[in-house]
């Protein structure tokens, strides 16, 4: 088998992998990136379901920050860009920075193994090529391994069965079809209103009712884009600024004063105003107590529940849609007419808590109460989030140790970037990083820059390998958890805690500090990489096949 040699191999050509490729290449290293998709874009290729779009504002919060020219030349069309626009943006970046020549698409990396004698990784493609690199960057995506539900009979379904996270390339027509949608997380909430506009009938199978806030998406005015460009330096500084010490959580909202400074009537007026404005501002501009104080959270949750009752005409359907978790402790969802969709004659809601699915048949879905005839089945069941793609890769570290074994009960890592016994393997948006609760393009840039600084230092000092100590991992685990424990997050079953995947270890694995996290990892580097072990260079390893 032929072996190719590089300094760095990047797995994934989404937003993170592309930046890693660009950055390492700028440092003069040989880099090759691999992705299974037929185009760059990762998430934005795989999630082509109707209604898919970002939920943070496109400009300036979604997008790369490393190139001022990019900020100047790219016009986002809407406040919350649609999947096709984000994909076009990512493809533009790949063209603009001539990244394609170092990317191999439609290539699955099926194995990755560390060789202690050469201090290098060997990865193997599904096409049978071997690639050796000193450094392995896993930009495999925190939301890229679809959660395929294990429902009896699902393989016997005769119609099309589509997963929102791996949507088919050819257009899907729902016209005249009876569509079943299983799942009401972000992808379900975004797609159900769109599918209902076209389909003959939609049956929604709901396990967990959701809170969702109006997205209020609209075209971005030229003046707004101009303002982003004029104020770019200040905006970027704001995105990187750690919260003040009395607000340790990046995601802890800040209206500027405590909820207890206002009367209940004044608070209600605040919630009404935030609801009218919509967007993730409902969280970001809420009271600082929202995600840490049960009483205030329940008040906000009750406010949204009241909105559901106002919007949904049939009281029984409204009852089924009533969420019962702390608002904001699952991924906050934005919608465009989600609750209103249940007022349509062609939409039926099945509450799986009272009427569970027994099996999928060739022609429909059978729940305890009877059969629902279905022509197209949409699985909006989300992802094996944060750790799923690393576990699918299942790299083998020192002595052949497998990541699956290492992570069988807890996702041990240090700084969210490395795992002990897996030298020279770096993760982007891994467990223990702010990942999905920060601005992911900016987070990818900052993590990559940290990794590249570490690699540069190793090369300058003749080091061949780096890995964290297990003690550092244990301390990091405690640190990430200590932050989470100050909030209501760990008290809710969610994909943040792994609760959506049967058998997955229950582990809240998101660092809630946002910019604080990036200051923390910078301090570790500045103070001599405490918690890491460096090994002198043994061999270039690149010589033999």
Q: Exposed e or buried b for every residue in 386-400, given b needs 16+ CB within 10 A?
A: bbbbbbbbebbbeee
Binding string, residues 16-35; x marks residues near ligand FAD by CB under 6 A: xx----------------xx
Should residue 429 be labelled a site residue for ligand FAD when binding is judged by CB under 6 A?
Answer: yes
165 neighbors 146 (Cβ within 8 angstroms): yes
CA distances from 231 to 68, 87, 89, 220, 250 (A): 12, 25, 21, 16, 22
Should residue 50 be labelled a site residue for ligand FAD when binding is judged by CB under 6 A?
Answer: no
Between 1 and 175, whose beta carbon lies closer to ligand FAD?
A: 1
Should residue 60 be labelled a site residue for ligand FAD when binding is judged by CB under 6 A?
Answer: no
Should residue 14 be labelled a site residue for ligand FAD when binding is judged by CB under 6 A?
Answer: yes
Which of 62, 89, 287, 407 contacts ligand FAD by CB under 6 A? 62
Which of 31, 139, 347, 452 contacts ligand FAD by CB under 6 A? 139
Should residue 480 be labelled a site residue for ligand FAD when binding is judged by CB under 6 A?
Answer: no
Should residue 109 be labelled a site residue for ligand FAD when binding is judged by CB under 6 A?
Answer: yes
Stretch of 98-106, 133-141, 191-199, 292-300 lying at the interface with ligand FAD (CB under 6 A): 133-141
Should residue 52 be labelled a site residue for ligand FAD when binding is judged by CB under 6 A?
Answer: yes
Tell me the H-state helices in 327-395: 338-341, 388-393
Should residue 282 be labelled a site residue for ligand FAD when binding is judged by CB under 6 A?
Answer: no
Q: At what angle do helices 83-96 and 15-26 cross, to 10 degrees?
A: 10
- Interatomic CA distance for residues 423 and 407, integer angstroms: 16
Which of 9, 25, 42, 414 contacts ligand FAD by CB under 6 A? 42
Question: Closest distance between ligand FAD and the C-beta of residue 379, in Å?
Answer: 14
Stretch of 137-145, 362-370, 509-517, 530-538 lying at the interface with ligand FAD (CB under 6 A): 137-145
Q: Exposed e or buried b for every residue in 24-45, given b needs 16+ CB within 10 A?
A: bbeeebebbbbbbbebbbbbbb
Should residue 300 be labelled a site residue for ligand FAD when binding is judged by CB under 6 A?
Answer: no
486 neighbors 288 (Cβ within 8 angstroms): no
441 neighbors 65 (Cβ within 8 angstroms): yes
Question: Closest distance between ligand FAD and the C-beta of residue 164, in Å?
Answer: 8
- Interatomic CA distance for residues 371 and 215, integer angstroms: 34
59 neighbors 30 (Cβ within 8 angstroms): no
Between 321 and 390, whose beta carbon lies closer to ligand FAD?
A: 390
CA angle centred on 319, ends 380 and 331, rounded to 5°? 40
Between 43 and 341, whose beta carbon lies closer to ligand FAD?
A: 43
Q: How many CB atoms lie within 10 A of CB 152?
A: 12
212 neighbors 335 (Cβ within 8 angstroms): yes
Should residue 144 be labelled a site residue for ligand FAD when binding is judged by CB under 6 A?
Answer: yes
Question: Closest distance between ligand FAD and the C-beta of residue 534, in Å?
Answer: 27
Question: For binding to ligand FAD (CB under 6 A), which residues are involved?
Answer: 11-12, 14-17, 34-37, 42-43, 47, 52, 54-56, 62, 108-109, 139-141, 143-144, 389, 393, 428-429, 439-440, 444
């Amino acid at each position: 088998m032929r072996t190719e040699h590089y300094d760095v191999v990047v797995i994934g050509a989404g937003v993170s992998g592309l930046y890693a490729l660009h950055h390492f290449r700028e440092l003069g290293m040989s880099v090759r990136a691999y992705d299974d998709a037929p185009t760059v874009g990762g998430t934005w290729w795989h999630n082509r379901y109707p209604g898919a779009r970002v939920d943070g504002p496109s400009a300036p919060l979604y997008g790369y920050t490393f190139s001022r020219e990019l900020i100047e030349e790219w016009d986002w069309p809407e406040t919350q860009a649609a999947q096709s626009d984000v994909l076009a943006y990512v493809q533009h970046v790949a063209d603009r920075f001539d990244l394609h020549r170092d990317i191999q698409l439609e290539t699955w990396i099926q194995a990755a193994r560390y060789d202690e004698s050469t201090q290098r990784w060997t990865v193997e493609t599904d096409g049978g090529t071997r690639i050796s690199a000193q450094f392995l960057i896993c930009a495999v995506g925190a939301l890229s391994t679809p959660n395929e539900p294990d429902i009896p009979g699902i393989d016997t379904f005769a119609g099309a069965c589509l997963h929102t996270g791996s949507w088919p390339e050819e257009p899907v027509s729902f016209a005249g079809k009876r569509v079943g949608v299983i799942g009401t997380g972000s992808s379900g909430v975004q797609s159900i209103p769109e599918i209902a506009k076209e389909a003959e009938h939609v049956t929604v199978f709901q396990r967990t009712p959701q809170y969702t806030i109006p997205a209020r998406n609209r075209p971005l005015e030229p003046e707004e884009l101009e303002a982003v460009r004029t104020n770019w330096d200040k905006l970027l500084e704001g995105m990187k600024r750690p919260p003040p010490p009395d607000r340790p959580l990046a995601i802890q909202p800040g209206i500027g004063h405590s909820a207890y400074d206002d009367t209940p009537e004044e608070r209600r007026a605040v919630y009404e105003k935030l609801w009218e404005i919509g967007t993730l501002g409902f969280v970001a501009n809420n009271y600082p107590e929202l995600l840490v104080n049960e009483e205030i959270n329940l008040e906000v949750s009750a406010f949204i529940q009241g909105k559901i009752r106002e919007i949904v005409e049939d009281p029984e359907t409204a009852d089924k849609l009533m969420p019962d978790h702390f608002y904001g402790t699952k991924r906050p969802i934005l919608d465009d007419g989600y609750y209103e969709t249940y007022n349509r004659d062609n939409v039926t809601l099945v509450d799986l808590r009272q009427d569970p699915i027994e099996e999928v048949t060739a022609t429909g879905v059978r729940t305890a109460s009877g059969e629902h005839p279905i022509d197209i089945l949409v699985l909006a069941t989300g992802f094996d989030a944060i750790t799923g793609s690393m576990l699918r890769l299942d790299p083998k570290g020192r002595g052949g140790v497998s990541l699956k074994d290492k992570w069988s009960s807890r996702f041990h890592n240090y700084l969210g970037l490395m795992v002990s016994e897996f030298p020279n393997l770096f993760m982007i948006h891994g467990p223990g990083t702010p990942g999905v609760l920060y601005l992911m393009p900016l987070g990818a840039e900052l993590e990559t820059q940290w990794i590249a600084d570490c690699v540069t230092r190793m090369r300058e000092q003749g080091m061949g390998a780096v890995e964290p100590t297990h003690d550092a991992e244990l301390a990091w685990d405690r640190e990430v958890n200590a932050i989470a424990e100050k909030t209501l997050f760990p008290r809710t079953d969610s994909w943040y805690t792994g609760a959506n995947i049967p058998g997955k270890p229950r582990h809240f694995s998101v660092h809630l500090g946002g910019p604080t996290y990036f200051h923390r990892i910078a301090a570790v580097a500045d103070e001599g990489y405490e918690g890491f072990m460096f090994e002198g260079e043994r061999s270039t390893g690149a010589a033999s096949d």
